[in-house]
Amino acid sequence: MKLAVVIAGLAAGGAARVATSLANHWADSGGKITFITYDDGSKPPFFRLHPAIDIVAMDMAQPYAGLISAVWRNLRRIARLRTALAGAKPECVIAVGETNGVRTILACQGLDLPVIVSEHTDASDVLSQKHGILWGVLRSLLYPLAAAVVAPNDRMKRQFRRRIQELVTVIPNPLPPDLPETFQQIDTALTLPANTIASMGRLVRQKRFDLLLAAFAMVAAHRDCHLIIVGDGPRRSELENLRDRLGLSSRVTMPGALRDPWPLLRQAKLFAVSSEVESFGIALCEAMACGLPVVSFDCPTGPRDIIRDGIDGLLVPPLDVRALAGAMERLLDDEAEAARLSARAVEVRQTFGLERVAAQWDDALNRALGIASKTPGLETAYGDEPRAG
């Protein structure tokens, strides 16, 4: 199968991690994969790519300001994307992200190319915070023209209008295939202190690392513990300043984005998620696969599709800093409970393993191309036991 994957770029981030994991899987199976990106291609992909995968960089990522500039720039992006797709000659196109879905559907009009839109952001966040009402209207108008829409959980599916819901297939994000099976030998340049709480993600507003720092300050006030936040992004300076104002400069480490964070995470005592909005939470999944007990805000979508509350992790009310601090203290103090949650957390390796998730993607691609399913009876990758409750 020849596939084109349209994505903003291949820098560090959850969407790029998922896209490269799937693309590498398809390339290993003999597929011809082309990434079409909006950046200029000057920086190499952050995650490892199969050598047979092609990258077409359109150099169309320049920012714009104002409605007229936005319309003009996006029309140019659509035209450039149409040219790139015509050159790649794929059988099917996967558009990663909400605005990419809109542009790709428009670019493919008249090309007889089925488009699958892969959503990675809570729909309410897309409309209210990130892209505005206009993009929401365009999604409502254009998504019915797609062959399918893939969302990582049922709650995101229900946020669409009914006529779009009929096109939505729920497929969770897969764990990276290069995640080590065991951690008997930790090979990392950074050794964590005892009682370290870990977190990971892009340093952007919706991850609310400011609330994590506030919660950690409560815990650190009467415990000898540390915090490491793996990731990078536009809010780095702001978070470093907050860390220093809270008097935590010697107890909070921010090493930036790491391609292989798992040996480092494996040294932590627990993992914390402070997001206001999550579509799925691949970093949370990776931490659980490393055997860490986890605590998370129970945001509208994402964590509760992974965590089975009280079975393999703890969910606390959204944005409740004191509750998050209390849950972290609970797992730091109660080694027996932490061990119990840790023992079940690793079950995500089966539930969200790449082979299982890729089989669902293969079904979606086959349906988009009008091919009979090769995996009859595989309705979901979530397993039989509820992920929360």
pLDDT tens digits for range 328-382? 999 999 999 999 999 999 999 999 999 999 999 999 999 999 874 444 433 444 4
Most confident region among 60-74, 129-143, 276-290 by mean pLDDT: 276-290
Report how far residue 227's alpha carbon sits from residue 100's, in angstroms, rounded to the nearest whole number: 35
Q: Is the pLDDT of residue 283 over 80?
A: yes
**Residue 256: what pLDDT?**
94
Report how far residue 257's alpha carbon sits from residue 278's, in angstroms, rounded to the nearest whole number: 19
Q: What is the CATH number of domain 2-174+353-368?
A: 3.40.50.2000
Name the residue type at position 169. T
pLDDT tens digits for range 68-93? 888 889 999 999 999 999 999 999 99
Instruction: Answer for the pair 215, 243: CB distance below 8 angstroms, yes or no.
Output: no
Name the residue type at position 305. D
Give the domain ranges of the chain: 2-174+353-368, 196-349
Torsion of CA 292, 296, 301, 307, to 10 degrees: 40
**Residue 134: what pLDDT?**
80
Three-class SS of the chain: CEEEEEECCCCCCHHHHHHHHHHHHHHHCCCEEEEEECCCCCCCCCCCCCCCCEEEECCCCCCCCCHHHHHHHHHHHHHHHHHHHHHHCCCEEEEECHHHHHHHHHHCCCCCCCEEEECCCCHHHHHHHHCHHHHHHHHHHHHHHCCEEEECCHHHHHCCCHHHHCCEEECCCCCCCCCCCCCCCCCCCCCCCCCEEEEECCCCHHHCHHHHHHHHHHHHCCCCCEEEEECCCCCHHHHHHHHHHCCCCCCEEEEECCCCCHHHHCCCCEEEECCCCCCCCHHHHHHHHCCCCEEEECCCCCHHHCCCECCCEEEECCCCHHHHHHHHHHHHHCHHHHHHHHHHHCCHHHHCCHHHHHHHHHHHHHHHCCCCCCCCCCCCCCCCCCCCC
Mean pLDDT over the full length of the chain: 89
pLDDT tens digits for range 23-71? 999 999 999 999 999 999 999 999 999 999 999 999 998 877 777 888 8
Do domains 2-174+353-368 and 196-349 share one topology? The answer is yes
Task: Quickly name the fold that domain 196-349 has.
Answer: Rossmann fold (3.40.50)
